Structure 1
Amino acid sequence: MDSPLAVLKFLFFKTPFILKTALSHALGLSLTASKWDFRTALVVNIIREMLCNSPPTSISKQQQSTLRDPGIKGKMWVSKVTMPAPSEDALLDLLVNTIDALKHENESFSRPALVPVEAEWTGYRADVADNAPEPSISEAEKYDSMVKELASDITVLYFHGGSLYLMDPCTSRSAVAKYSKITGGRVLSVRYRLAPQNPFPSALLDAFISYLSLLYPLAGSLHKPVPASQIVFAGDSAGGNISVVLLQTLLQIHRAAPAGTTPTVLFHGKEVELPLPAGLALSSPSLDLTRSMPSTKTNALYDYLPPPSIALEKSPPCEIWPAKPPRAYLYCEGSTLCHPLVSPLSAESWAGAPPILVVSGEEMLADEGKAFAQKAARQGVTVVWEQYEAMPHCFALLLEGNAGGAMSFDTWADFVKMAVRNPEDIVTKADFITAKTLVRQPLDISKLIEIGDDVILERMKKSRQEIIEVAAAD
């Protein structure tokens, strides 16, 4: 949808559909009536109708419709910053070498440019009205005002969702401000480069620069150096992907370093260490871009995401897609879809990772989170996994006021606080939370999914080939 007017037109023409949905739910005739409240039924079905049954639009039109800045107002401090790109190529060289080291086969990619990375420092602004205007002060003054209201030393490095080609920090401000409020800390929300204009590994490089810029800010930066022990990577959906692949990048760099040493890299003229963060907090992470797992079909009832068959349909051509030269997938070359830094579900090892939280609904991407959490836990990583029965993708952000969403926010906040303050107290566990009653049902995290690693990789390769063949046929 391009604008509020377009949304209103859509809803007007879908009035019969909306009335049918409402009546079906009220009479208990829908398959989800026993699991959802009326608001959930209406929201999920309308979004599904918009995404799955609307005329296809160009990639550029889709992208631009999600980049409109709604402005800054109310209970949030936002300070916009730009983190300079290093003048030397050492960081880029290290990333390229890491990508090469993790290749399964002949996976191709283009070397990205080193560019400055924009971001938004965000914090909770108390004691103002919900529609209070943003103060007319400098970005530095906004940052200082934000810092004065912080209740903890937690720093969340946040990556927004949007399938790696949509959305922006400006469209995630409300959620990010809430993350700040419930942790008492600050959030750095990164404006990573979007596909298809900037394919893999551009977004990963931007994430890498943002992390090192937190650790080692240049003179004149608004913030002081932030210890890695106070930084938690976080992301929703595609942002979860970036969080996880940034972690896997760091883990591979550590694996490649001499035993007993901490790896280093030249960054803005100084040799600096590359520590691991305090933890990862993931909501509905997208970990398999081939969308090969069974839940893509089995959980469609509770989700609004388009099935792969629709996702692969050709959008009307525009100035940014098809790419020039053409490629099979928006985010990367088709051959690279199974690479561990593109689809981290294929990564062989998570050993040595900091504590990880994975929260998902009973959604189409659920199996990816299950397999990832299970594998990491089996390899000795502290993992907290939660799945909410009958809830859709990113339900906590989508369904404001939903009791399950509120519960998941509490879990998220508790985990982030513990990861920074007392990580040794985090206990590996898995819970399935029942719909409406919100009863926790403990599960064995080592037995979340009965699909072996080899089978998962074969499924991914098969789906990758299907994506390549569909693209070639267009």
Structure 2
Amino acid sequence: MAAKDAAKDQAAELKKARRGMIWSLLPKIPLLFRVLFSRILGMSETARYLDLETDLTLTVLRATLSSSKPQPISKTQAMTLLDPGVKGRIWIANAVSEVPPERGIREALMDTIRSMSDSEAQAAKFKIPDIVPVEAEWTGYRAGVASDAPLPDIPEEQKYEAMMKECKNATTMLYFHGGAYYLCDPSTHRQLTKRLAKNMGGRVYSVRYRLAPQYPFPAALLDALVSYFTLLYPPPGSMHEAVSARDIVFGGDSAGGNLALALTQTLLQLRRQNVKISWFGTKRNVPLPAGITVLSPWLDITQSMPSWSTNSKWDYLPNPDNFEGREHPSDDIWPTTPPRKHLYVDDAFRLHPLVSLHLNTSWEGIPPVWISCGWEALADEDKYFVSKLRADGVPVVFEEYEAMPHVFAAVLPKVAQTERCVQGWARFITTTRKDPASITSSYTYIKAKTLEEVEGDVEKLTPFEQKDVYGLACSKVGREPPLPLVSPKL
């Protein structure tokens, strides 16, 4: 009864939020007409690349995120956590990573964070997160049902078994949703994870990691590490069997891409130190996954690179100050005690290489990487990262989509670019399982409207070098560069 009442309350809140969104569109009608007339008169630059529906959608998003009266963080966060429900051609089976009796996995992560800290971070204190049960959604494609078919009212184990019967291979994506580390949930990304599951013929383990500002760095990273070990070495009572690292690919968008790469760098550091982790009574190895896949990854937490301003007309992301919480009214969760500037991370750790991932000195030894972005605010950091991976000898498949905004495959599910993106994403994942040795570095530029694929010029991918990105990040947080870069502890 309590569960049904909670579901009714959630549905009511969702309807209320949708009504609010419709009313919020009314003041934007003149802006939409302006876009329309601009296209009719041949004065619109975006019309060369975007269809009318996409152009209007991005205009509304940009106006909503940039000009709306700032809301308390807790209210904005709560709206993105409303579950729209499950129906149609998708399997969802809820799971949880149980808490191990040992604390070895947490201590291993804390040691890694300290070993990679610069002098300021070494001197600072941060809250060490507890190990908690981490929820996740097993997601798979459900064939042969209507688009509005409800999810069967059966136990989660039976949903999982039904999903597994439709999986064509053992490929498992460990997925981390985006949302700037303080918004969204696996439920907001179901359509994207369902499409990935369908195209790769496998399944997705979509993690409900802890959100900031209530749980700042490194809580989400600990949840990610626990979730990976849960796949590899299932705790007693788990409904899944052990998944080989050869069948696991990390995935994530935006902040989720940051988390996927932070987890990868953590594993790399643990392996360099030959660490084994006590997990439910057994010392466990720390393997790397088969591949890493990230869409529009947020790598520079300081948001210091030029594309945040130069690409603003193609993107919908708000001013970087929004991510530091400066404009948000006070509520129960913000500002924090003790106070900090950034929603996600304590001030002294903004340049930590497990936070701003583009500042890592080495990625040598990680598995092949697939990365995609558009003409977005994060383009500079993403392109620099691709160049860095290539320099470190990591096979990296990079796809750039002309005129597309941040995380377009989730924001614009109906455009042809999204289908092309999902297919390329899934094709890379399949290759990591079938023929990983065949993966070589490439740069493909996908043109708008025609989807014509052009081989990109790798030499012109980025004008930035490591000292440049470090200097920009230092300047943004008010430090005097150069500071010593953190080298891996061998």
Which runs of 5 or more residues in structure 2 are unaligned? 1-13, 480-490
Distance in 1 (alpha carbons) for counterparts of 2:399 and 2:334:
37
> What is the aligned-residue RMSD (CA, Å)?
1.4
Distance in 2 (alpha carbons) for counterparts of 1:435 and 1:75:
29
Q: Report the AA paired with residue 370 of structure 1.
A: K
Q: Do residues 15 (structure 1) and 32 (structure 2) align?
A: no
CA deviations on 1:107-127 (whole Å, 9 max, x unpaired) are 142211111110011110000
CA deviations on 1:146-167 (whole Å, 9 max, x unpaired) are 0001111100000001000000
What is the deviation of 1:311?
Answer: 4.1
Aligned to 1:85: 99
Q: 1:284 aligns with which of 271, 296, 301?
A: 296
Aligned to 1:469: none
Q: Is the 8 A contact 2:323 2:343 kept in 1?
A: no
Q: Report the AA paired with residue 47 of structure 1.
A: L
SS of residue matched to 1:82: strand
Distance in 1 (alpha carbons) for counterparts of 2:112 and 2:40:
54
Distance in 2 (alpha carbons) for counterparts of 1:330 and 1:252:
26
Q: Do residues 50 (structure 1) and 64 (structure 2) align?
A: yes
Distance in 2 (alpha carbons) for counterparts of 1:429 and 1:104:
34
SS of residue matched to 1:85: coil
CA deviations on 1:177-206 (whole Å, 9 max, x unpaired) are 111111110100000000000010000000
Q: Do residues 395 (structure 1) and 405 (structure 2) align?
A: no
Q: Do residues 153 (structure 1) and 167 (structure 2) align?
A: no
SS of residue matched to 1:266: strand
Q: Do residues 323 (structure 1) and 336 (structure 2) align?
A: yes
Q: Is the 8 A contact 1:288 1:368 kept in 2?
A: yes
Q: Report the AA paired with residue 83 of structure 2.
A: D
What is the deviation of 1:445?
Answer: 3.3
What is the deviation of 1:13?
Answer: 2.2
Aligned to 1:59: 73
Distance in 2 (alpha carbons) for counterparts of 1:157 and 1:308:
28
Q: Is the 8 A contact 1:378 1:446 kept in 2?
A: no
What is the deviation of 1:22?
Answer: 2.0
Kindly report which structure 2 residues correspond to 1:54-453, keeping only aligned pairs within 5 A, or say none: 54-107=68-121, 108=124, 109-257=126-274, 263-312=275-324, 313-445=326-458, 447-453=460-466
Q: How does the TM-score come out when normalised to structure 2?
A: 0.92
Q: Report the AA paired with residue 279 of structure 1.
A: G
Q: Is the 8 A contact 1:26 1:38 kept in 2?
A: no
Distance in 2 (alpha carbons) for counterparts of 1:420 and 1:38:
39
Distance in 2 (alpha carbons) for counterparts of 1:12 and 1:247:
45
Q: Is the 8 A contact 1:335 1:464 kept in 2?
A: no
SS of residue matched to 1:106: helix
Q: Compared with structure 1, are the counterparts of its residues 430 and 395 closer, same or farther at alpha carbon in structure 2 (3 Å cutoff)?
A: same
What is the deviation of 1:104?
Answer: 2.6
Q: Report the AA paired with residue 259 of structure 2.
A: I
Q: Report the AA paired with residue 172 of structure 1.
A: H
Distance in 2 (alpha carbons) for counterparts of 1:105 and 1:451:
25
Q: Report the AA paired with residue 120 of structure 2.
A: N
Q: How does the TM-score come out when normalised to structure 1?
A: 0.95
Distance in 2 (alpha carbons) for counterparts of 1:298 and 1:247:
30
CA deviations on 1:24-79 (whole Å, 9 max, x unpaired) are 22332122121111111101110000000111101001100100011111111111
Distance in 1 (alpha carbons) for counterparts of 2:463 and 2:151:
51
SS of residue matched to 1:188: strand
What is the deviation of 1:103?
Answer: 1.2
